[in-house]
Structure 1
Amino acid sequence: MKMTKYSHSCVRFEKDGAVLVLDPGNFSEVEEALEGAAAILVTHEHADHLDRPRVLPILSRREELQLYAPAPLAASLREAVEEPVRGRIHDVQPDTAFEIAGIGVRSFGGQHALIHPLIPMVGNLAYLIEGRIYHPGDSFVVPNGLTAATLLLPIHAPWSKVGEVIDFLISCGADTAYPIHDALLNGNGRPIVEKHLERFGKMYGTQYVRLAPGDVVDV
């Protein structure tokens, strides 16, 4: 399966002609990522993971396109679109396994990482793609009962610090980790963070590999 990284947390998976796009947010190249896509999968409601002003018009125009999201978010999205589109917006529950456009998906978790006690919590689902690629959304939920071969690692966020990123990298035990949630890092800060991830990843058996927006890998 081919994976393309876009800016921040958006990734595109292609398998046997089917395309699934995860978290097309407002820092991402939404139109490019969704070209030819059969489905959109969303971890949570924040705009950097779902750019409603750009995604919903595309969903409305393309009758074959489906969208999957945590149930409260899916309900909110259905209220924002016309009746014919509502049937293509689907609820995802925690701890379930299903298939989207021939691509296997399993959901984990249910809650966004804490930003601050005064900032309300929202729901968040992590997803395991094809039994081997783990996208945690905005969380450090370690997938229970399995070790994913590939980890999509949130390397910088308002809800994390570098030590927590390192601990999550170690706890997941993946063979390879690629960065996501990285749009707020500048050219000075990124090498500092990635140096730690490369060093500790190597110590614990995970190869950290930097990807730039537009890079494509086989996973």
Structure 2
Amino acid sequence: MRLVHFGHACVLIDTGNTRLLIDPGTFSTGFEQVRNVDAVLVTHQHFDHLDLDRLPAVLAANPGAQLIADPGSAEQLGSLARVAAPGEVIKVGGATVRAVGGQHAVIHRDIPVIPNTGYVIDDGAFYHPGDALFVPDEDVDVLGLPTGAPWMRLGEAVDFMREVAPRVAVPIHEAVLARPQAAYAQFENLKPDGTTVKPPTPGEEMEA
């Protein structure tokens, strides 16, 4: 599997026969140039995961792409989006996408909890949790590991990585941190046996 991290939560997954763009948000750059995308997946409606201003151009440049979104984002996107309800399995090209989770992590008791759909690609080949630490039933080969967020402590990210226990953990969701490399070092130090931590270089394709 190949992937490109466009900064923060946005990742392009290339399974070899299917290309999936996940969470094109305002903190991410370069995803506008992606072509031959089979689907655009949105985990939730927060602006750092869903850039409503740039999304139309992405869809116009990829006219064959499905738009798949959590229930909350789908309300904003209207008829453009197919709703991904937790537990649903969606066929996209030669890939399968299973929707998991259902709720965003709690930021504060005074902030309403919104829907959040994580996406498990091809029976665990890749997992993007969005803004939640939901552990799926499948064994996960490559995990998009949240690095920093208002709803999460570093220790929670480490415990999530340990519970999922992927072969490869790719740190994402880092734009809120001044020096995410400090978190990457802790991931390396505290990773479970059998897991390799591979921090991506934004905009560069990597083999995972």
- TM-score w.r.t. structure 2 length? 0.91
Residue-by-residue CA offset, 1:154-196 (whole Å, 9 max, x unaligned): 0100100111111111111111100110112223xx2321221
Q: 1:3-82 counterparts in 2 under 5 A? A: 3-16=3-16, 18-29=18-29, 30-32=31-33, 34-59=34-59, 63-78=63-78
User: What is the correspondence of 1:1-219 to structure 2 with a 5 Å cutoff?
Assistant: 1-16=1-16, 18-29=18-29, 30-32=31-33, 34-59=34-59, 63-78=63-78, 86=79, 88-131=80-123, 132-144=125-137, 146-187=138-179, 190-201=180-191, 203-219=192-208
Counterparts in 2 of 1:103 and 1:118: CA distance versus 1, 3 Å: same
Question: Rg bigger for which structure?
Answer: 1
Describe the shift of the 1:102–1:186 C-alpha distance in structure 2 as closer, same or farther (beyond 3 A). Answer: same
Shift of 1:17: 5.2
In structure 2, the CA distance between the partners of 1:118 and 1:35, relative to structure 1 (3 Å rule), is same
- TM-score (norm. length: structure 1): 0.87
Identity rate, percent:
35
**Taking structure 1 as reference, are residues 169 and 64 closer, same or farther at Cα in structure 2, changes over 3 Å only?**
same
Alignment partners' CA distance in 1, 2:147 and 2:62: 33
Contact in 1 for aligned 2:68/2:84 (Cα 8 Å): yes
User: How many residue pairs are counted as aligned between the two chains?
Assistant: 206
Shift of 1:125: 0.8
Extract unaligned runs of 5+ from structure 2: none
**Alpha-carbon spacing, 1:16–1:164, altered in 2? closer, same or farther (3 Å):** closer
In structure 1, what residue type is equivalent to 2:93? A
Q: Which runs of 4+ in 1 moved over 4 A?
A: none
RMSD, aligned CA? 1.7
